[in-house]
Amino acid sequence: MQHITDRFISYVTVDTEADPNSNTTPSSAKQWDLANKLVEELKAIGLQDVSIDDKAYIQATLPSNIDEKVPTIGFISHFDTTPDFTGANVKPQIVPNYDGGDIILNKEKNIVLSPSYFEDLLLYKGQTLITTDGTTLLGADDKAGITEIVTAMEYLIKNPQIKHGTIKVGFTPDEEIGRGADFFDVEKFGCDWAYTMDGSQIGELEYENFNAAGVKLKFKGKSVHPGYAKGKMINSMLLATKYIAKLPKKEVPERTKDYQGFFHVVHLDGSIEETNVQLIIRDHNRKKFEKRKKLVQKIADKFNAKYAKQFGEDIVEIEVKDQYYNMREKVEPMMHIVDIAEKAMKNLGIKPIIKPIRGGTDGSRLSYMGLPCPNIFAGGHNFHGKYEYVPVESMQKAVDVIVEIAQIVAKQK
Ligand SMILES: [Zn+2]
């Protein structure tokens, strides 16, 4: 437990905030600080073929210690943190034997982590929690995942009596800005399948995520002096709001859950002459997803037809771009990879929580790049903000799950 805590703290105290405005990979130079440190550590614990490329993607190998040929599996996590909240000068606080009450994160600023607001805390009564000091995020997303993978590899190396096939380790930059899979060398990784250790609560196991598309709309108008505008002016801002009003009102993020998809307006800026709107479309079901994309196109077509005479050209331009797809399509034909993770948890007395992700993971993109990749809990809660925390016991359990999966796969023919 102390070993895991120390390792985790050595990672979260290195600032690795991603920068969405940068075009380089990694998006922020400071991600190299932790990446280089991880490379040294992977070598030091005895992994083979430890490599880091010019974009800071790390791979390493734990060679098989059995004669039989069994599947090669991988474990993946990301070392960047979200730009949504600062990750500089993280000062982790350790709360041993949590009593189920309020945790004062910051006395001066009166920032309290309370189970009356975050009821999940009560799951961890009596355990050791690591929290922030209320001024930064913690970075358990996903340095908890890295801690668990490194610790599990170290454990397997130190305990050669535990039999396993070839296991690969992959750490990526820039997951939080949606680029973690961009330059992942799936071929070099050479795995039959992998798991991202990037989920939240202990027991989480995910192999379904949204299908996702981004929509850009440009409404065009005609500016005329308002005193002389009758029959002449076209106000593009009003067109844009009319368009938005035609989308199904109940199908928005704030009114949907579970498998319900949505349209979500994420950006709007305009003047009389031109208004730009950005939407995102999300749905687990591929057919419904395609239908949603058709609907946004159809509404645009109707606008264009209606204003064709008056405006002389298309009054709205639309661009629909697919972003990622539900990994279920790629995982379902090899459901044993989910079953193995589920069995590993059950063997360890962990209740699997299998539910669809209302978002995407790097695993969804990797699954479509040829590496089926379900997601397993890393143990943290309240990601992307100052209330983020992780129970050390959950990290330990995640280590156990990795070791258990390795053993189950070693028996696969
Ligand atoms: Zn993450």
pLDDT of 1 higher than 90? no
Give the pLDDT score at 94: 98
Superfamily classification of domain 2-208+326-409: Zn peptidases (3.40.630.10)
Instruction: Enumerate the active-site residues.
Output: 80, 175
Measured in Å, residue 180 CA sits from the centre of ligand 1 at 10
pTM: 0.89
What pLDDT, on the 0 to 100 scale, is given for residue 14?
A: 98
Q: Calculate ∠ Cα 83-84-90, nearest 5°.
A: 75
Q: Residue 127: its pLDDT value, please?
A: 98
- Report how far ligand 1's centroid is from the alpha carbon of 375 (Å): 10
With pLDDT > 70 as the criterion, what percentage of the chain qualifies? 100
Q: Is the model's pLDDT at 103 over the cut of 80?
A: yes
**Mean pLDDT to the nearest integer, 22-33:** 97
Cβ contacts of 51 within 8 Å, gap of 6 or more:
58, 59, 60
First-last CA distance in the chain: 34
pLDDT of residue 2: 92
Structure tokens at 404: 């258990």
Domain boundaries along the sequence of the chain: 2-208+326-409, 211-324
* Per-chain mean pLDDT for the chain: 97
8 A C-beta contact, residue 50 and residue 336: no
- Return the structure tokens found at 161: 């009596």
The stretch 86-97 carries a mean pLDDT of 97
Q: How far is the CA of 245 from the centre of ligand 1 (A)?
A: 34
Per-residue pLDDT, averaged over 199-221, amounts to 96
- Are 90 and 134 a contacting pair, CB within 8 Å? no
Q: Are the C-beta atoms of residues 195 and 89 closer than 8 Å to each other?
A: no
Q: What is the number of residues in the chain? A: 413
Residue 392 has pLDDT above 90, yes or no: yes
**Residue 361 Cα, ligand 1 centroid: separation in angstroms?**
8
Assess whether pLDDT exceeds 80 at residue 413: no
Whether residue 360 is predicted with pLDDT greater than 90 in this model: the reply is no
pLDDT at 361 over 90: no
Q: How far is the CA of 351 from the centre of ligand 1 (A)?
A: 22
In sign, the C-alpha dihedral spanning 253, 256, 262, 263 is negative
Binding-site entries for Zn(2+): 78, 141, 176, 198, 384
Tell me what the mean pLDDT of segment 22-42 comes to: 98
Domain 211-324 has CATH 3.30.70.360: yes
